[in-house]
A and B are shown apart, each in its own frame.
Chain A
Amino acid sequence: MKQVYAVPKSLRPVPTHYCPGCTHGIIHKLVADAIDELGLRDRAVGVASVGCSVFSYDYFDCDFQQAAHGRAPAVATGIRRAVPDAIVFTYQGDGDLASIGTAEIVHAAMRSENITVIFVNNAIYGMTGGQMAPTTLVGQKTTTSPRGRQPALAGQPLRIAEMLATIPGATYVARVSTTSPAHIARAGRAIKKAFQVQAAGEGFSLVECLSTCPTNWGMSPVDAMAWVEKNMIPYYPLGEFRTPEMPETPERGQANG
């Protein structure tokens, strides 16, 4: 009998602390699948950020460092420079990466640090209880935007993938969703490609994963999935924004190995 599904070896067989319906579990599995399939587990060093995924090192079966809020790309830079043959990845949410950590992510991309960034965007601060994030959609209600995000007060949501794609050092930048089997399959391919870019020494790679937060959105998991497709994908279009095949970035990938 052909085996069509297995728990990835790079994921520990333990229950997670994530809320029911949260897509962190799916994204963890996709990352672990990529590490398994590319045979990178014994070289992998992950960097956990601050947010719901702070304990992701309890779930991934590889070396990990826990970073201060927003600083994961800087910590990853230190690891990358100290261990040239390591496979270094960060796992960051949108509060961490798109707000307090904007300087670190921009400059890691600028240096074309040979790291992979898994950026989980659920348009809200999850762990602290549902506050407005830079990625919160206009009109979206959160505990700190009780009347919905108003552009006059809080500006327009930040499109990280598009922004980073303008940086010459960004080798691979994609945005994916985790809201349907087809989307998840595409997300898995993008994450694998990001790790392949790093393994080939080609420089900075980032995959933005649109994700849900049923708890803080106040929705059922099914409704939350539908909300992503109806509201987030139109503002955060899916696709590859930079790939190694695109010719206009000769600077990338040469900075460090």
Chain B
Amino acid sequence: MAGRKLFKGNEAVAEAAIRAGCRFFFGYPITPQNEIPEYMSRRLPEVGGTFVQAESEVAAINMVYGAAGAGARVMTSSSSPGISLKQEGISYLAGAQLPCLIVNMVRGGPGLGGIAPAQSDYFQATKGGGHGDYRLIVYAPASVQEMVDLTLGAYDVAERYRIPVMILGDGVLGQMMEPVSFPEGSEPENAPQRPEPEWATRGARGGRAPRIVSSIYLKPEELYKHNLRLQEQFKRAEAAETRYEEVRTDDAEVLLVAYGTTSRVCRSAVEKLRTAGVRAGLFRPITVSPFPYKALGERARQVKAVLTVEMSLGQMVDDVRIAVAGAAPVDFLGTTGGVVPKAADIVERAAALARHGAADQATREGIS
């Protein structure tokens, strides 16, 4: 499969996980990610792996905990309401420092919401989601190929820092088909054999000392130290794993900031703006946690205005404001409920920002 082949996003991420060494999948059906468990139920037995359809998202994420605690490369996937149910388990995984892969094909909320694509779970994905002081590593791919590439490396990253990795997609990325190529030699039979981690609970063989996988620290001083350890691991990941892409930002006067599906619309808006004589550029976070604060902050120093575009009523824009730190006005354009922003609306807003700079920003803030 060295050549390019059309893949649906959901199936591509599943195949990529298998090629990255995933041999255990625990899931529960929810639209728009059902092709992932369906693909896994078909494909995993072919490579000696195990698929279990759990009784709930709650059970699925706890099965992930058990298998991850036994040192397995394990995965689950879901969409927004299901990810809410998994948050308890995600908090425990983070607390017990268990590497794993969680795919979230976000749909509109709150509540049952809808099944159309959304980015309204940015806060949940990047600011914790479950209870406690922890962060996940969250990738926000913008194409099926990028989803594959990020997934191929996801376990290495998760294991290096002992932090669960989330792939934050949406209904568009899960359902769309794009040509994909998998690297030569990435066939499942070539998946790396992972040595047993020194913390894995697989039975105290040969009389070795027992191991414990746990997230409980009842003494405040111990939990304090533990949480500082978690933070230290995340800081290491922040220093080495933060990723972003810039498009035509060298001379940009208006900087669009967007991730995932929305960044694709912004990319075409940048070209339209350039054609119309507006020097627009795009800053696209690839890791939304850790967020590329430093790079975005530096880029913002040269521009007249920043425009954050999201399929939400304003979530990542908070991080953008932290990054920009007053160096330029930060405007926001968002759609919600499963509606994708239109390039024409982005062009219009960005062109106005280029003409007027920050003059009328105050009146426009928060209105979209």
A73-101 residues with Cβ-Cβ distance < 8 A to B are 74-83, 85-87
Q: Which residues of A contact B62 (CB under 8 A)?
A: 67-68, 71, 74-75, 78, 104
Binary interface profile of A, 86-124, with partner B (CB < 8 Å = 1, else 0)? 110000000000000001101100110000000000000
Shortest beta-carbon distance, B194 to chain A, in Å?
12
B74 is an interface residue with CB less than 8 A from chain A: yes
Query: Chain B, interface size: which category?
Result: 35 or more
Compute how far the CA of A106 lies from the CA of B59 in the bound complex, rounded to whole angstroms.
Answer: 11
Beyond A77-B63, A81-B63, whether A103 also contacts B56 by CB under 8 A is yes
> Contact between A83 and B54 (Cβ–Cβ < 8 Å)?
no
Q: Which residues of B contact A140 (CB under 8 A)?
A: none
B91-112 residues with Cβ-Cβ distance < 8 A to A are 92, 96
Q: Which residues of A contact B210 (CB under 8 A)?
A: 57, 60-64
Shortest beta-carbon distance, A224 to chain B, in Å?
26
Task: Point out the residue from A45, A60, A71 that lies within 8 Å of B59, measured CB to CB.
Answer: A71
A44 is an interface residue with CB less than 8 A from chain B: yes
A159 is an interface residue with CB less than 8 A from chain B: no
A183 is an interface residue with CB less than 8 A from chain B: no
Shortest beta-carbon distance, B29 to chain A, in Å?
15
> Contact between B55 and A78 (Cβ–Cβ < 8 Å)?
no
Task: Point out the residue from A55, A74, A85, A103 that lies within 8 Å of B66, measured CB to CB.
Answer: A74
Shortest beta-carbon distance, B40 to chain A, in Å?
13
Beyond A63-B210, A64-B210, whether A78 also contacts B203 by CB under 8 A is no
> Contact between B212 and A81 (Cβ–Cβ < 8 Å)?
no
Q: Which residues of A contact B24 (CB under 8 A)?
A: 78, 81-82
A65 is an interface residue with CB less than 8 A from chain B: yes
> Contact between B203 and A107 (Cβ–Cβ < 8 Å)?
no
> Contact between B88 and A77 (Cβ–Cβ < 8 Å)?
no
> Contact between A103 and B59 (Cβ–Cβ < 8 Å)?
yes
Q: Which residues of B contact A71 (CB under 8 A)?
A: 58-59, 62, 65, 89
Q: Which residues of B contact A80 (CB under 8 A)?
A: 66
Instruction: Closest B residue to A81 by CB, please name it.
Output: B50
B202 is an interface residue with CB less than 8 A from chain A: yes
A225 is an interface residue with CB less than 8 A from chain B: no
> Contact between B66 and A76 (Cβ–Cβ < 8 Å)?
yes
Shortest beta-carbon distance, A94 to chain B, in Å?
19
Instruction: Choose the segment among B7-15, B166-174, B213-221, B358-366 that binds chain A (4+ C-beta atoms closer than 8 Å).
Output: B213-221
Q: Which residues of B contact A66 (CB under 8 A)?
A: 96, 212-216
> Contact between A78 and B64 (Cβ–Cβ < 8 Å)?
yes
Binary interface profile of B, 74-89, with partner A (CB < 8 Å = 1, else 0)? 1000000000000011
> Contact between B67 and A79 (Cβ–Cβ < 8 Å)?
yes
Q: Which residues of B contact A54 (CB under 8 A)?
A: 216
Q: Which residues of A contact B181 (CB under 8 A)?
A: none
Shortest beta-carbon distance, A46 to chain B, in Å?
9
Compute how far the CA of A100 lies from the CA of B83 in the bound complex, rounded to whole angstroms.
Answer: 19
Compute how far the CA of A67 lies from the CA of B60 in the bound complex, rounded to whole angstroms.
Answer: 13
Q: Which residues of A contact B64 (CB under 8 A)?
A: 78
Shortest beta-carbon distance, B193 to chain A, in Å?
15
> Contact between A82 and B214 (Cβ–Cβ < 8 Å)?
no
17 residue pairs of the A-B complex, CB under 8 angstroms, read A42-B204, A43-B205, A62-B210, A63-B212, A66-B214, A68-B88, A74-B59, A74-B62, A77-B66, A78-B65, A79-B201, A82-B71, A83-B202, A86-B70, A86-B202, A104-B58, A111-B52
Q: Which 6 A-B pairs have the closest CB atoms?
A: A78-B66, A74-B62, A66-B214, A78-B67, A107-B55, A63-B201
New A-B contacts (4) at CB < 8 Å, excluding given A57-B212, A64-B211:
A71-B58, A71-B62, A74-B62, A78-B72
